[in-house]
Amino acid sequence: MPDIWNPKPGDRVFRPRRIKRFHLRRVLGVAAVFSAGYGNVGSSIYYALGIVALVAGGATPVALGIAGILFIFTALTYAEGTSAIPEAGGSASFARHAFGDTAGFIAGWALMLSYIVTISISAFTIPPYLGFFWEPFKSSAVVGTFTSIGIVFFLMLINVIGVKETSFLNIGATLIDILTQITLVIIGFITLFNPSLVFQRIIDNWPSAENLIFGIALATIAYTGIETMSQMAEETKKPERSVPRALIMMIVAVLVIFAGISLVSLSAMPVGELATEWSRDPVAGIAFYIPIDLIKVVLKPLIAVLAGTILLIATNAGLIGISRLAFSQGAHGLVPAAFSRVHHRFKTPYVAIIVFSLIAIVLLIPGFFESDVFSNMGALYAIGSLLAFMLAHAAIIGLRIKQPDLPRPFRLKGNIRIAGYDIPITPVIGLLAIVAIWVIIIMLEPYSRWIGLGWMVLGLIIYGVMRLRKRRKSQEWEIKT
């Protein structure tokens, strides 16, 4: 009979330390995920139209259309990725599983930049729409910027309390906003749309090749909601099915509404006016030019309220996305572990929420005294988002090779057989197109090049220090044992 050791008083007993892994609550369904994503994607029509017009001029509908095709490819990539890897992290999670921790960190750090800009630019665009009720919101840089900062701070507090408390607002406001946008498109086509005038304005204001490509890159600002929906996978019921369904719903809704509003806007006003006076509130400009007074009287305040509401949701969705991304990166040791810390009562990643809210507020401060802050935000956004989308496409291709038997409840169609592996076509096309656009932006745009690449270098330094410390601790442990 084997000896059984019974500890005696004074004996030292070794108890292995349990590794604590924080978890988020699974409380969201398809409607909540769609509303959060559309709150970010659909809301961007309220400002993306003006940002693209600043650069692309008459080719604004063309730039949005090309970006829309890339959006379809990217959304399908995220649908397969999230169904196979239903965890917070989005493209960072895909890249980590496909290529390792370093690739996962690069994707995540790039996404953090684009999320910070999305939070700031959405909040920055709310006051001009509210200018219908009080003119200083639109005309005063001090009032508008101060209001934007207050919005981010308010949402920071709400998100620390918990995402469930805000999801019902997202769903209701999103449904009303979709109906209003569809109504505006229909009324605009009936009362304003003039195909020959639109064609003439496109031809007369056609941009240089450089500006067209930059306009396409800026148009991707409309599609950050793809990442937001993927980041929410760990809080979604049956994410392997719910998130792909929500993504498909968003593809249809976004493309129809974006195409309609971009065409109506060029019928409603000259391109130069769209890019200047109405750049921060282009949808309000469409309502302003509706020729029927009764409809105009109803639409102008309605759009002011809904634009403010949906942009508030977009700011909130961006904050949800970056906090959940930082939570995932921190949990896997790719950023400081404090970002994965969950509040003991509210079960939310409160450290990440607070830190990135404050960074977004800092990004808004130039709005007090700089006139070009709006276009600079758009340029900065492109670097991070395109790099993240690039790695997402590459990761889906890599996972098909590295883990061909990985369960994929949503699997992309249209595959080609290479060396015994099924390689999906749409991620390949999306990857090549985005790489080309990203390289051109890096070459042509100094502001986004230096700030964006500076952000990436800072991240790699932080990552390198963390890896070095981890290696030293591992060596110290080996020496002791």
Cα first-last separation, the chain: 32
Amino acid (1-letter code) at residue 274 = L
Helix (H) or strand (E) holding 423: strand 421-424
Reported pTM: 0.79
Q: Given a cut of 80, is residue 399 above it in pLDDT?
A: yes
- Nearest CA-CA partner of 226 in 106, 436, 350, 385: 385
Residues 6+ apart with CB under 8 A from 366: 373, 376
**Rounded to whole angstroms, what are the CA distances from 102 to 411, 461, 464?**
26, 12, 10
* Per-residue confidence band for 152, with pLDDT thresholds at 50, 70 and 90: very high
Q: Is 66 helix (H, G, I), strand (E, B) or coil?
A: helix
278, 307 Cβ separation under 8 angstroms? no
Beta bridge partners of 424: 415
pLDDT of residue 339: 81
Q: What local confidence, expressed as pLDDT, does residue 457 receive? A: 93
Judge whether residue 171 has pLDDT over 80: no
Kindly tell me if the per-residue pLDDT of 167 is higher than 80: no
> Which range is least confidently modeled, 269-273, 306-310, 351-355?
306-310
Predicted pLDDT of residue 19: 39
Question: How large a percentage of the chain has pLDDT more than 90?
Answer: 23
Segment 149-165 shows an average pLDDT of 82
The domains located in the chain, with CATH, are 30-476 (1.20.1740.10)
Q: In whole numbers, what is the pLDDT of the chain averaged over residues?
A: 83
Tell me what pLDDT residue 15 has: 45
* Residues 6+ away with beta carbon under 8 Å from 26: 234, 235, 236, 237, 239
**Residues 447 and 376 sit within 8 Å (Cβ to Cβ):** yes
pLDDT for the residue numbered 12: 47
pLDDT at residue 159, rounded to an integer? 86
Cβ atoms of 221 and 48 within 8 Å: the answer is yes
Closest CA to 413 of 70, 78, 80, 74: 80
**Tally of CB atoms within 10 A around 3:** 5
- What does the pLDDT read at residue 16? 42
d(CA 422, CA 465): 38
Residue 142 identity (one-letter amino acid): V
The closest of 426, 460, 455 to 72, measured between CA atoms, is: 426
What is the phi/psi pair of residue 135, to 5°?
A: -55, -40
pLDDT score of 413: 87
Most confident of 81-90, 136-145, 310-319, 434-443: 136-145
| b/e burial code for range 4-39 (CB count within 10 A of at least 16 → b) | eeeeeeeeeeeeeeeeeeeebeeebbbbbbbbbbbb
Confidence band, pLDDT 50/70/90 cuts, at residue 28: low
When pLDDT is cut at 50, 70 and 90, the band that residue 21 belongs to is very low
For the purposes of burial, counting CB atoms within 10 Å of the CB of 392, is it exposed (0-12), middle (13-18) or buried (19 or more)?
buried
pLDDT in tens, 362-373: 989 988 887 778
Give the pLDDT confidence score for residue 164 in this predicted structure. 52
CA 286/CA 59 separation, integer angstroms: 18
